A and B are shown apart, each in its own frame.
Chain A
Amino acid sequence: MSELFFQPLAVLAGQLEAKTISAVELTQAVIARKHAVDARVRAFNSSDEGDALAQAAASDARRASGQARGPLDGIPIGLKDVIAVKDQPLTASSKMLANFVSPYDATVTTKLKAAGAVLYGRLNCDEFAMGSSTENSAFHPTGNPWDVTRVPGGSSGGSAAALAAGEAIATLGSDTGGSIRQPAALCGVVGLKPTYGLVSRYGLIAYASSLDQIGPFARTTEDAALVLGAIAGHDEWDSTSYKAEIPDYRAELSARRGPWKLGIPKEYFGEGLDPEIGAAVEQAITFYKAQGCEVREVSLPHTQYCLDTYYIIATAEASSNLARYDGIRYGHRSKNAKDIVDLYFQSRAEGFGAEVKRRIILGTYVLSSGYYDAYYLRAQKVRTLIRQDFLKAYQEVDALITPTSPIPAFKLGEKSDPLAMYLCDIYTIGVNLAGLPAISVPCGFTKSSLPIGLQLIGQPFQEANLLAIAHTYERAHDWSRKHPNL
């Protein structure tokens, strides 16, 4: 039996229910683990131990009086520092919001609190969720728990690293172009990006609103199913929230046995794919075939245009969303401005880091008079074609299998060229443009002991199927039971 902080959520939920452990004991174990390893991992921007232990004590009191609220009651869960928790810091890992304290809860926060979860930790990320390595954090980079000289991926790198390091039992991240799945792959954990609209974005700091989704990081697909079930559902505070029936995702894991029809998009296995990752994914495909799944090659012909389409649409939306940071109502205000207009220019210059500035400039440019049609409108049309590619494939198959990331975790500081960094997302961004659900599950290690992720892409709002397909693979392999030595 490994340490408490490496146990899956579902196992711990059983122990809490059986009262063989208490929520306070579990929370203390997670806090002690954070003290032991976070100087090296640096997954946390801030944490409030007193608050976490008070939540845990309240959970134990509920349980003692027969009022326990379900499997998440008493489970320590960390949140990416772009998700609002009332009276806690909310920084987006930016100097712009370094001193911001959230006056309200995000809807996912409200839901996790209602489920009894112990919210612990504001987790590091790329500034305003813009990046693929968490190196764009204004505060500090995060190390990959498997090799702290390497990146954990991004932008939700702190959420992935904290979980992999045992500093949380589950975490939430946000995914605009791969920001949950890619760090999950690089850190050897499960990461789920839900269908656009399944989980409310209310209280999530906006990056690119037509692409952003909140989702869970977890040790297993079962754990991801439990967290997803707690945070999914319609919310009147998010006008893009979808009125979907939320099934019991955990029950569906074992109820759905397949066999499924699975598609291999040939465009996802081309140039740039690390051979060890390609081989691991091939082995997973072989596994599914052996399970009786029908596997066929499919084509997503507009795949080569995903990256460009994404960087036009995402930066355009970001330039609009980040216009609100003007130094007036909240956030950093420059002390060096000569008048009110200069206050906007200087506050933004001082508050934003380089990648955020780059994306604001690019997004402003593609929306500006004279370039809108050539860039933004054209990208929106190509987005339609990209989505149609997926929907066409889904006439033949239930889900698609691809690598999550073309490369394993790279060294901190290795990628200084923005375009090279953007290429980390080539297998994940199509999913966001098409609004689909997708999951990354561990599928092996490289020869140098770095985790490899398998991406499964599902049909809209078919998370139950997607989780079941991933679960079928997971339970026949022991990747999720391996932990880094820290």
Chain B
Amino acid sequence: MSQPTELNIDRVAKLARLALTPEEKATFSAQLGSVLHHIEQLAKVDVTGVEPSAHAFAVHNVWQEDVARPGLAVDQALRNAPAQRDNMVAVPKVVE
């Protein structure tokens, strides 16, 4: 493992679409710095020729017949929407 650069909290928070306060940035940087330091020891493991595991058991594509089935009614699907209008989720204007 190459020496990882310092975690750039502004860049990562932007990627995660997460607004952080200056206090959170300072706290998380310090805490995650110590977690990342701990994680550094993985560099010691010889993984030459080892296949990565995405799951504990090999899972292959699982297919289902493409048949229509009853789904959620519109009122059920929208019951948790923060704002709705005319059977649709309402959001702030996207295009000026």
Is the pair B64, A236 in contact by a Cβ cutoff of 8 Å? yes
The CA of A319 and the CA of B16, in the complex, are separated in Å by 7
Is the pair A340, B79 in contact by a Cβ cutoff of 8 Å? no
Known: A210-B56, A331-B82. A340 touches B93 (CB 8 A): yes
Q: Scoring A residues 284 to 319 as 1 if CB is less than 8 Å from chain B, else 0, what string do you get?
A: 000000000000000000101101110110000001
Which B residues are in CB contact (< 8 Å) with A302?
A: 45
Which A380-398 residues have C-beta < 8 A from chain B? Answer: 380-385, 387
- Determine the interface band of chain B, counting residues with CB < 8 A from chain A: 35 or more
Which A residues are in CB contact (< 8 Å) with B59?
A: 239-240
Is the pair B18, A348 in contact by a Cβ cutoff of 8 Å? yes
Is the pair B19, A385 in contact by a Cβ cutoff of 8 Å? no
Which B residues are in CB contact (< 8 Å) with A216?
A: none
A358: interface (CB < 8 Å): yes
Q: How many A-B residue pairs have CB under 8 A?
A: 169
Which A residues are in CB contact (< 8 Å) with B38?
A: 307-308, 419
Question: Which residue of chain B lies nearest to A386 when distances are taken between CB atoms in the complex?
Answer: B53
Known: A100-B80, A308-B41, A339-B92. A346 touches B19 (CB 8 A): yes
Is the pair B52, A101 in contact by a Cβ cutoff of 8 Å? no
The CA of A387 and the CA of B36, in the complex, are separated in Å by 23
Which A residues are in CB contact (< 8 Å) with B76?
A: 103-104
B7: interface (CB < 8 Å): yes
The CA of A337 and the CA of B32, in the complex, are separated in Å by 28
Q: Which of A148-156, A166-174, A368-376 contacts B (4 or more CB under 8 A)?
A: A368-376
Which A residues are in CB contact (< 8 Å) with B13?
A: 361
B85: interface (CB < 8 Å): no
Which A residues are in CB contact (< 8 Å) with B31?
A: 358, 417-419
Which B residues are in CB contact (< 8 Å) with A362?
A: 32, 35-36
Interface size on A, residues (CB 8 A): 74
Is the pair B62, A385 in contact by a Cβ cutoff of 8 Å? no
A433: interface (CB < 8 Å): yes
The CA of A328 and the CA of B78, in the complex, are separated in Å by 11
The CA of A329 and the CA of B16, in the complex, are separated in Å by 18
- Cβ of A8 to closest chain B Cβ, rounded Å: 32
- Cβ of A336 to closest chain B Cβ, rounded Å: 10
Is the pair A357, B34 in contact by a Cβ cutoff of 8 Å? no
Is the pair A361, B28 in contact by a Cβ cutoff of 8 Å? yes
- Cβ of A444 to closest chain B Cβ, rounded Å: 31
The CA of A422 and the CA of B42, in the complex, are separated in Å by 16
Main secondary structure of the interface of A (DSSP, over half): helix
Which B residues are in CB contact (< 8 Å) with A139?
A: none
A434: interface (CB < 8 Å): yes
Is the pair B50, A384 in contact by a Cβ cutoff of 8 Å? yes
Is the pair A364, B16 in contact by a Cβ cutoff of 8 Å? yes
Known: A348-B18, A383-B53. A418 touches B35 (CB 8 A): yes
Question: Which residue of chain A lies nearest to B83 when distances are taken between CB atoms in the complex?
Answer: A333
Is the pair B39, A312 in contact by a Cβ cutoff of 8 Å? yes
Which B residues are in CB contact (< 8 Å) with A344?
A: 17
Q: Scoring B residues 1 to 32 as 1 if CB is less than 8 Å from chain A, else 0, what string do you get?
A: 11011010101110111111000100110011
The CA of A307 and the CA of B34, in the complex, are separated in Å by 13
Is the pair B80, A331 in contact by a Cβ cutoff of 8 Å? yes
Known: A330-B81, A357-B24, A364-B12. A378 touches B17 (CB 8 A): no
Which B36-76 residues have C-beta < 8 A from chain A? Answer: 36, 38-39, 41-43, 45, 47, 50-57, 59, 62, 64, 72, 76
Known: A345-B19, A434-B56. A337 touches B35 (CB 8 A): no
Q: Scoring A residues 445 to 475 as 1 if CB is less than 8 Å from chain B, else 0, what string do you get?
A: 0000000000000001000000000000000
Is the pair A242, B72 in contact by a Cβ cutoff of 8 Å? no
Is the pair A419, B91 in contact by a Cβ cutoff of 8 Å? no
- Cβ of A99 to closest chain B Cβ, rounded Å: 8
Is the pair B41, A305 in contact by a Cβ cutoff of 8 Å? yes
Is the pair B92, A381 in contact by a Cβ cutoff of 8 Å? no
- Cβ of B11 to closest chain A Cβ, rounded Å: 8
Q: Could you list 24 examples of A-B contacts with CB < 8 Å?
A: A236-B64, A240-B59, A323-B17, A329-B80, A329-B89, A330-B81, A333-B83, A340-B92, A340-B94, A343-B91, A345-B17, A348-B17, A354-B27, A357-B24, A360-B16, A370-B5, A374-B4, A375-B39, A375-B42, A378-B43, A387-B56, A417-B31, A422-B35, A435-B55
- Having A103-B76, A312-B42, A340-B91, one finds 5 other A-B pairs with CB under 8 Å, namely A196-B55, A305-B42, A378-B45, A381-B45, A387-B53
